[in-house]
Amino acid sequence: MTESVAFTDIKVDDEMVARVEEALRSGRFVKGPLVEQFEAAFADACDAEHAVAVNSGTDAIYLALKSVGVGEGDQVIVPAHTFFASASPILELGAEPVFVDVDPLTYTVDVDHLGRAAERSEDAEAIVPVHLYGHPADMKGIRRVARRHDLAVVEDSCQAHGATYEGQPTGSLGDVGCFSFYPSKNMTVGGDGGILTTDDAEIARRAREYRNHGRNDDGEHVRLGLNHRMDDVSAAFGLEQLSHLADWNAGRQRAAERYRDRLESVTAVRLPTERDDVDHVYHLFVIQSDERDELRDHLESQGIDTGIHYETPVHQTEAIRAEMASVPTLPRTERLVDRILSLPMHPRITDAEVDRVCDEIERFYGER
Ligand SMILES: Cc1ncc(COP(=O)(O)O)c(C=O)c1O
């Protein structure tokens, strides 16, 4: 019988369980010391002054945008080749997403397209660059556009924990950084969770207040706000996971290198690009192929799990189309959706598993 290859794998070890047990036994489930500890550790890891822990990456993006002042009638520029939640918070805030195309090699926002969108978007308030699949966006170019048009930069770093651009961690490259701890991410909190990072004390203060019923440090309700808090049990799990992040990212990078070495000679497959100025953390290892669906069927038939991230570009989803008077045509994004395939990737994937995936890709092309 052939061995199957799992798409991902989530590590839960005794230390993580012990931390969670300790948190449970403490009886401090919310607003306890562990959330603050986790925030301090995460801010430190991102080279940021402040971190505000919340209950999802979506909430982090929503609160980041709200805290930089995005609201009714504003526009926010965002790539369409991303997960839905890079854009949905914009509409939830009563603002309008201005969708832009991506660079088809790095899958991150195309800076020329971004510049043109900023030129023509008079009500633009912010840009949401997405460090998709773990590859940081071209932040120098993005910051140039942001400065010229006075736009806030809210990094969607939900897939890029520990990635760097010119040696600086994501989450410290714009005005605010947003991370998700959804279980499949490079690190998790053992359930849903998220965090936002910033050097700006005022943005951090607003985010903290919005997160907790609009309450200030004295407990007064000084603005409207809902409950977006992370709980202490999640923070306990997150603290332990964070201590492994660098090793786990190195495991992903090793697997990526092996995929590259093995697949370099398969000319029908386009491998992920890694710019020289970034440290890519391979949340996903995404290849492109003209025969994507047939290749995927072949791999599935051999017990190899794959994914497509994402099947529908955000601007073409039913939910977004229903909200907008018109949506743009974005040729690169629209072409990518039929070509992209995410191969199994996680820190503990073995050489033998990577080899099996590559053998089957070679076999698929050899037999054609
Ligand atoms: C690029 C991107 N943005 C936003 C999110 C939203 O994060 P969450 O699922 O924690 O709400 C995710 C993860 O699912 C993501 O991958």
* CATH architecture of the domain covering 14-242: 3-Layer(aba) Sandwich (3.40)
Question: From the CB of 159, is ligand 1 less than 6 Å away?
Answer: yes
Across the range 141-153, mean pLDDT stands at: 98
Q: How far is the CA of 198 from the centre of ligand 1 (A)?
A: 18
Q: What is the per-residue pLDDT for 2?
A: 73
In short, whether 82's Cβ falls inside 6 Å of ligand 1 is yes
**What is the CA(362)–ligand 1 centre distance, in A?**
33
> Coil, helix or strand for 155?
strand
pLDDT at 11: 84
Which are the contacts of 158, defined by CB distance < 8 A and separation ≥ 6? 57, 60, 61, 83, 85, 86, 130, 178, 179, 180, 182, 185, 194
What percent of the chain stands above pLDDT 70? 99
Mean pLDDT over residues 305-331, rounded? 97
Residue 161 reports pLDDT greater than 60: yes
Average pLDDT, the chain: 97
d(CA 245, CA 21): 21
Cα(91)–Cα(71) distance, integer angstroms: 9
- Cβ of 130 closer than 6 Å to ligand 1, yes or no, is yes
- What is the 8-class DSSP label of residue 191? S
pLDDT at 367 over 80: no
- In the chain, where are the structural domains located? 14-242, 245-366
Question: pLDDT band at 339, cuts 50/70/90?
Answer: very high
Domain at 245-366: CATH code: 3.90.1150.10
What is the model's pLDDT at position 1?
55
Q: Do domains 14-242 and 245-366 have the same CATH topology?
A: no
- Cβ neighbours of residue 329 under 8 Å, at least 6 residues apart? none
Q: Which atom of ligand 1 is nearest to the CA of 283?
A: 16
Of the listed ranges 18-27, 101-110, 219-228, 359-368, the one predicted with least confidence: 359-368
pLDDT (mean) for 57-80: 98
